[in-house]
């Protein structure tokens, strides 16, 4: 019965991937690795709950342990490193990518890996130029540049001949992230619907390029974004600008999150810093709500009055009392400068 339960869950995941236009080869491998992670005992060690405390982004598990087994000596990342070696691939593919994109999402690794993710989905239904390629005036050339980086071993050490090992590494890591999202309660994670609610900030130019008017709220908006982009799960982080967008993202689109460490035992955020509380997800077709933050678009004030009612009709998932406050304290420190 337990095996049947596992297969039923993986079948549901496979149907989600199929409906979301992932290629069968990637979907099959992802399902296989999820079952493998369960058999290896890794999934059973995931925290049952992560609760942000104090600063709003440092988390403790259900036992009060910071990050549970996701970081520190003997962490699950250490087990993943070993698991990947046993399955003919290397965790270096993942950790090197994390290191580069934590500094610049459009680094060589960042550009090349966008092509990898494009190649895992049906390009007849998820068209390349429906993504943003960091050059609005000539997206074709920009996309070709990214493709060249992916194909050339001299650039970032990829090359098509290494794609099977790269794909297996990502199927394992993506599978680990899927298990984490499915097994762990934390604010803004709807485990039943298999979605997370993410916060991403934009600048004036980004809004206008997508036919949005700064400080005019709009529901169910479409914003063209890169193949994979970062957002925040608990607190908005100002990167490009102060305009807040909220999007409901299917679990299967999330490819990594800041809860884990980059290297087994390092006990540090896998991405840049914890205060960014960053999730990285595939963006195509995900619509968002634009919620003006108020005040000047060129300033990010810290006064609490600015943020009253910021999420006017947005109720976070879960029942944590720290996520359902209606007073102004909820919004203190919402932006990390």
As given in the structure block, the two tokens for residue 187 are 């604010």
Residue 247 belongs to what H/E stretch?
strand 243-250
Q: Which pLDDT score, from 0 to 100, does residue 201 have?
A: 86
Q: Which pLDDT score, from 0 to 100, does residue 291 have?
A: 80
Q: Of 95, 32, 113, which Cα lies nearest the Cα of 262?
A: 95
Spatial separation of the C-alpha atoms in residues 176 and 34, rounded to whole Å: 7
CA 112 to chain centre: 17
Is the Cβ–Cβ distance between 258 and 281 less than 8 Å? no
Partnered with residue 218 across adjacent β-strands are: 290
Partnered with residue 281 across adjacent β-strands are: 229, 254
Pairing of strands 254-257, 278-282: antiparallel
Residue-by-residue pLDDT tens, the chain, 337 positions? 666 666 777 788 889 999 999 999 999 999 999 999 999 999 999 999 999 998 889 999 999 999 999 999 999 999 999 999 999 999 999 999 999 898 888 888 899 999 999 999 999 999 999 999 988 889 999 999 999 888 876 655 566 778 899 999 999 999 999 999 999 999 999 999 999 999 988 888 888 888 887 888 888 888 889 999 999 999 888 776 788 889 999 999 999 999 999 998 889 999 989 999 999 999 999 998 888 754 333 333 333 333 333 333 333 333 333 333 333 343 334 333 3
For the chain, the farthest-separated pair of C-alpha atoms sits apart, in whole angstroms, at 58
Count of positions (residues) in the chain: 337
User: pTM value?
Assistant: 0.84
> For residue 80, what are the contacts with CB-CB under 8 A and spacing of at least 6?
42, 91, 172, 173, 176, 264
Residue 229 belongs to what H/E stretch?
strand 228-232
Q: Which pLDDT score, from 0 to 100, does residue 202 have?
A: 84
As given in the structure block, the two tokens for residue 102 are 């934590």
Spatial separation of the C-alpha atoms in residues 227 and 22, rounded to whole Å: 14
Q: Of 159, 164, 176, 157, which Cα lies nearest the Cα of 42?
A: 176
Spatial separation of the C-alpha atoms in residues 232 and 330, rounded to whole Å: 16
Spatial separation of the C-alpha atoms in residues 76 and 91, rounded to whole Å: 12
Buried b (16+ CB within 10 A) or exposed e, 21-59: ebeeebbebbbbbbbbbbebebbeebbebbbbeeebbeb
Local structure of 266: helix, strand or coil: coil
CA 91 to chain centre: 18
């Amino acid at each position: 019965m337990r095996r049947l339960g596992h297969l039923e869950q993986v079948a549901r995941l496979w149907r989600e991937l199929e409906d979301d236009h992932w290629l069968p080869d990637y979907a099959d491998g992802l399902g296989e690795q999820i079952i493998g992670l369960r058999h290896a005992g890794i999934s059973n060690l995931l925290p049952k709950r992560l609760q942000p405390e104090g600063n709003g982004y440092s988390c403790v598990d259900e036992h009060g342990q910071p990050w549970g087994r996701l970081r520190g000596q003997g962490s699950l990342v250490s087990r993943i490193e070993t698991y990947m070696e046993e399955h003919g691939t290397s965790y270096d593919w993942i950790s090197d990518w994390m290191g580069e994109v934590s500094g610049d999402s459009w680094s060589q690794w960042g550009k090349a890996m966008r092509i990898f993710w494009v190649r895992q989905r049906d390009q007849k239904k998820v068209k390349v130029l429906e993504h943003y390629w960091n050059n609005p005036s000539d997206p074709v050339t920009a996309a070709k540049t990214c493709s060249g980086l992916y194909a050339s071993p001299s650039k970032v050490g990829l090359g098509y001949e290494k794609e099977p090992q790269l794909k297996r590494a990502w199927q394992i890591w993506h599978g680990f992230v899927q298990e984490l999202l499915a097994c762990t309660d934390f604010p803004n994670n709807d485990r039943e619907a298999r979605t997370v609610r993410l916060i991403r900030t934009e600048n004036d130019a980004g809004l206008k390029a997508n036919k949005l008017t700064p400080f005019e709220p709009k529901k169910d908006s479409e914003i063209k974004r890169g193949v994979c982009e970062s957002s925040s799960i608990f607190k908005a982080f100002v990167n490009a600008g102060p305009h807040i967008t909220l999007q409901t993202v299917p679990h299967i689109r999330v490819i990594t999150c800041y809860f884990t460490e980059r290297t087994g035992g390092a006990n540090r955020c896998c991405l840049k810093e914890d205060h960014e509380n960053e999730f990285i997800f595939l963006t195509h077709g995900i619509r968002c709500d634009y919620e003006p933050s108020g005040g000047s678009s060129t300033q990010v004030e810290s006064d609490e009055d600015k943020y009253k009612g910021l999420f006017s009709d947005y109720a976070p998932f879960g029942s944590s009392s720290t996520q359902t406050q209606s007073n102004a304290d909820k919004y203190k420190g919402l932006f990390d400068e």
